[in-house]
Amino acid sequence: MVTRALKLAAISAIATMSLFAGQYNQQAEKDRQALIKYFVAKFSDPVKNAARFFPYTPTEELKKNYRPVKDWHEFAKGVYSFAKGPRQQYLELIEMPPYEDDVDDGEELYNSTKGLKECFPKPAEAAVEYPKYDTKKHEVVTLTMAINDCVVKHGGKPWNPYKGKIAKVEAYFAAQARDAGKVINVKIPNAEAEKAYEHGKKYYFSQRGYIDISCANCHVQGAGKRVRRDYLSPLVGQVTHFPVYRLSWEELGTLERRLKGCIKNQGQQPPKPFSEDMRDLIYFLSYMSNGMKVDGPDVRK
Amino acid sequence: MKKIRMRFRAKAKGDIVKVIGLIKHPNLTYIMAKKQHKEVNFLTYIKATHNGEVVYEASTSQFLSKDPVLKFAFKGGKKGDVVEVYVRDLKGNEGTKKVKIK
């Protein structure tokens, strides 16, 4: 009886909370749920649903190379959640991860750089706090931007937003958050924030560049298909593992650097790291990964 | 002379001890060094000892990748013992690491 009453109380509490908080994020929440539903339907049984999702992939390849994914939390691993071969390579790689030294360097930088300790008193919180909508500045603030602002404010020169020191500090934050078991929780506090979200969503779903494709063509409809030998990752869970150690870079890089590369491959001019387009895009992407555990830093191909 | 950085882990499972580690080294081959206008440098010798007994020994050359990962196993180790790894490269830089078996 007691447990049932507790359960009821918990459910009603969650319901009321979502009623009050869900004024501005209604559309966003709808989008997220729809995406999760779509991806789970796609990857829960690729062979059975081949006619709907993989019409041009031979059944032998589907049987041989794809692994069914039932739980959407697994998409935090991106491509490695459903592709068998790459998953095996990944599991072998993380036995001795190549980014551990960088995390130690990040801790040193965090302690030695002026001002970082005051701006980010709790490193584990910082990784989950951003990107957030700053109600005073009336714009989206990403973690990279916040760190750079902090360094400049305390009399230093701005750091490179793509790699190097900034990636190492972010790696330290992310590692702390992972150890504490933090969950990504992006909020949409007001109508302006909702506008920023819509702007990011528009960027993601609009066609651009000389090939005339949008981000969604590859990462929603095309997720799971191959581009030569590489598989395309699903949109849900795309920001959980940053900063990332890419094997092709042979070093750590921030989310901005990855997005720049991806947009360039798409055949268009990538936006500047602190421009409105980039920040709103990150805001949108992060909201889509809400409810997933922080998994960074991690290794990707 | 620079010290070579590395990370190692050793785990005992029954009689067998499995060791895995990563050595931080650029491992520039002759061709790569010429392209990047840097000096040639790669690992030439790796040795691991357990209680004074050599359990792994290799003389290596240009075939190693950047930051190579090393894996080996041996019999006769116990929990709490120490495995010592010694590394040397072409320029004479050295590195040693003591790993406790878990």
Q: DSSP letter for A208, please.
A: B
The set of residues, in sequence order, having a beta carbon less than 8 Å from that of B51 and lying 6+ positions away, is: B81
Kindly report, residue by residue over A76-122, the tens digit of the pLDDT. 888 999 999 999 999 988 888 888 888 999 999 999 988 889 989 98
B6-100 is classed in which CATH architecture?
Sandwich (2.60)
pLDDT at A5: 56
Question: Are residues A214 and A290 located together in one domain of the fold?
Answer: yes
| Disruptive mutation site among A94, A96, A102 for chain B (greatest number of B CBs within 10 Å) | A96
Cβ atoms within 10 Å of A252's Cβ, excluding its own:
26
Q: Tell me which residues of chain B have a pLDDT lower than 50.
A: none
As to burial, measured by CB atoms within 10 angstroms (0-12 exposed, 13-18 middle, 19+ buried), residue A296 is buried
Nearest residue on chain B to A95, judged by CA atoms?
A: B20
| CA proximity to A234, closest of A288, A276, A179, A172 | A288
List, as ranges, residues 10-29 from B with C-beta within 8 Å of A.
20-22, 24
**Which parts of chain A sit beneath pLDDT 70?**
1-22
> What is the number of domains present in chain A?
2
What is the distance in angstroms between the CA of the first residue and the CA of the last residue of chain B?
A: 32
**Sequence spans of domains, chain B:** 6-100
Are both A284 and A219 inside the same structural domain?
Answer: yes
Domain holding A157: CATH number?
Answer: 1.10.760.10
Reading the block at residue A301, the tokens are 């191909």
Residue B56: which H helix or E strand, with range?
Answer: strand B53-59
**End of a domain among A180, A202, A222?**
A180
Residues A200, A67 share a domain: yes
| Residues A128 and A227 reside in one and the same domain | no
Q: Is the ipTM of this complex over 0.95?
A: no
CA-to-CA dists, residue A33 to A137, A172, A182, A197, A286, angstroms: 30, 31, 21, 16, 14
Whether A17 is in a domain gets the answer no
Q: B22 CA to chain A: closest CA distance, Å?
A: 7
Assess whether A159 and A109 both reside in one domain. yes
Per the annotation, the verdict on A262 as an active-site residue is yes
Range of the structural domain that residue A233 is part of: 28-96+188-300
